[in-house]
């Protein structure tokens, strides 16, 4: 079982997130908003420690507290989502592109943590809310397909779209994601026998060309007990119970350049040297797409943070 309390590193990040929101004016904009933002207000007050966090069994997102009022469930029925059929129909095209990505491509170079050294690698199409053209150039048709999927959230900085490669004989230990705003789709691309995932108490098996949908805020772990690599495409979507206004408010809050810079340090850790400059440049440039006047009225005061 995972620990009930956030570690100091996560707590420090939470405090800094709240500090940036207050300094940039976002906090007051949300708190002064109408009832359509009621759940976002509760979420932010929970983040700041002003009210107790929601506690659900085996659902412990490790940075952002559980958002109130969503119907959380570890595994979703794929027939509830029209984009499932789109993805499964595109399986052949996606698989061909992904299997031709040079094998030395690896974004983070994980050296331990969730999996043993060199046992897990990822190739992101989007990362921290920005397109990674360095990898997208290998998969133009795949990029076009994923961008057409309704409800995706890889513009939101904790939303991902990436290829995940798990080495033979490896185990990704039990963990929870950073937030509870998303549902996660896996499209099996090259899946040997004897690969399995546990989400809360449910055991799932991938199949080539088929989609699995789960919430990674629930405790999950993954095994590849075969003698071949296991490759899946991972795509995040907004939790279906979040309203459009809530999605817009959360996106505006976490997409701010200074916020993403802070979150990148937390997420990339010692590996950030390879991509930090590219990411920070993109974050600043993409701020022009945010409604800064509305959500971040005192954003100028954040300029010194990056």
Residues that bind Fe ion (CB under 5 A): 216
DSSP class per residue in 23-84: HTTHHHHHHTS-GGGHHHHHHHHHHTTSSPPP-BTTB--SSSPPPTT----SEE-GGG-THH
Q: Which residue is nearest to Fe ion (CB)?
A: 216
CB of 286 closer than 8 Å to CB of 14: no
Shortest distance (Å) from residue 239 CB to Fe ion: 16
- Please list the residues that pair with 230 across neighbouring strands: 166
- CB 185, min distance to Fe ion, A: 13
Instruction: Identify the burial level of 151 via C-beta atoms within 10 angstroms of its C-beta, where 0-12 means exposed, 13-18 middle and 19 or more buried.
Output: middle
Minimum Å gap between C-beta 52 and Fe ion is 26
DSSP string, 96-114: HHHHTS-TT--SS---SSS
Three-state secondary-structure class, residue 122: strand
Shorter beta-carbon distance to Fe ion: residue 191 or 302: 191
Nearer to Fe ion, 44 or 162 (CB): 162
Least distance (Å) between residue 212 CB and Fe ion: 13
DSSP 230-258: EEEEEEEEE-TTS-HHHHHHHHHHHHSHH
How far apart are alpha carbons 165 and 144 in whole angstroms? 22
Pick the closest to residue 146 from 112, 97, 109 (CA basis). Answer: 97
Kindly state the smallest distance separating residue 220's Cβ from Fe ion, in Å. Answer: 6
| Least distance in angstroms from the C-beta of 95 to Fe ion | 22
User: Smaller CB distance to Fe ion: residue 66 or 302?
Assistant: 66
Residue closer to Fe ion, measured from CB, 197 or 261: 197
Least distance between Fe ion and beta carbon 188 (Å): 16
Count, residues in the chain:
306
Nearest CB to Fe ion, comparing residues 184 and 260: 184
Which of 216, 236 has the CB closer to Fe ion?
Answer: 216
Measured from the CB atom, the residue of 97 and 216 that comes closer to Fe ion is: 216
Q: Where are the beta strands (DSSP E) in 69-204?
A: 75-76, 120-127, 130-131, 161-166, 170-175, 182-190, 195-199, 202-204
């Amino acid at each position: 079982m995972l620990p009930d309390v956030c570690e100091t590193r996560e707590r420090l990040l939470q405090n800094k997130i709240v500090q940036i929101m207050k300094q940039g004016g976002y906090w007051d904009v949300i708190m002064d908003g109408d009832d359509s933002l009621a759940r976002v207000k509760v979420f932010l007050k929970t983040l700041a420690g002003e009210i107790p966090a929601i506690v659900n069994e085996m659902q412990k997102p490790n940075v952002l507290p559980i958002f109130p009022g969503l119907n959380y469930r570890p595994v979703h029925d794929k027939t509830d989502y029209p984009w499932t059929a789109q993805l499964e129909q595109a399986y052949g095209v996606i698989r061909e592109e992904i299997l031709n990505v040079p094998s030395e491509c690896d974004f983070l170079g994980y050296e331990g943590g969730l999996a043993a050294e060199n046992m897990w690698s990822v190739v992101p199409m989007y990362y921290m809310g920005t397109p990674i053209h360095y990898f997208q150039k290998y998969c133009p048709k795949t990029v076009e397909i994923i961008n057409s999927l309704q409800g995706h959230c890889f513009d939101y900085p904790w939303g991902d779209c990436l290829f995940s490669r798990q080495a033979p004989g490896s185990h990704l230990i039990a963990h929870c994601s950073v937030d509870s705003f998303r549902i996660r789709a896996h499209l099996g691309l090259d899946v040997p026998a004897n690969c399995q995932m546990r989400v809360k108490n449910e055991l799932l098996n991938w199949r080539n060309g088929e989609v699995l949908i789960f919430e990674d805020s629930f405790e999950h772990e993954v095994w590849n007990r075969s003698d071949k690599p296991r490759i899946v495409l991972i795509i995040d979507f907004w939790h279906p119970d979040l309203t459009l206004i809530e999605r817009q408010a959360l996106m505006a809050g976490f997409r701010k350049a200074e916020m993403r810079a802070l979150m990148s340090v937390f997420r990339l850790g010692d590996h950030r040297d390879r991509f930090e400059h590219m990411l920070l440049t993109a974050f600043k440039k993409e701020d022009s797409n945010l409604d800064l006047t509305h959500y971040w009225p005192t954003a100028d005061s954040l300029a010194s943070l990056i």
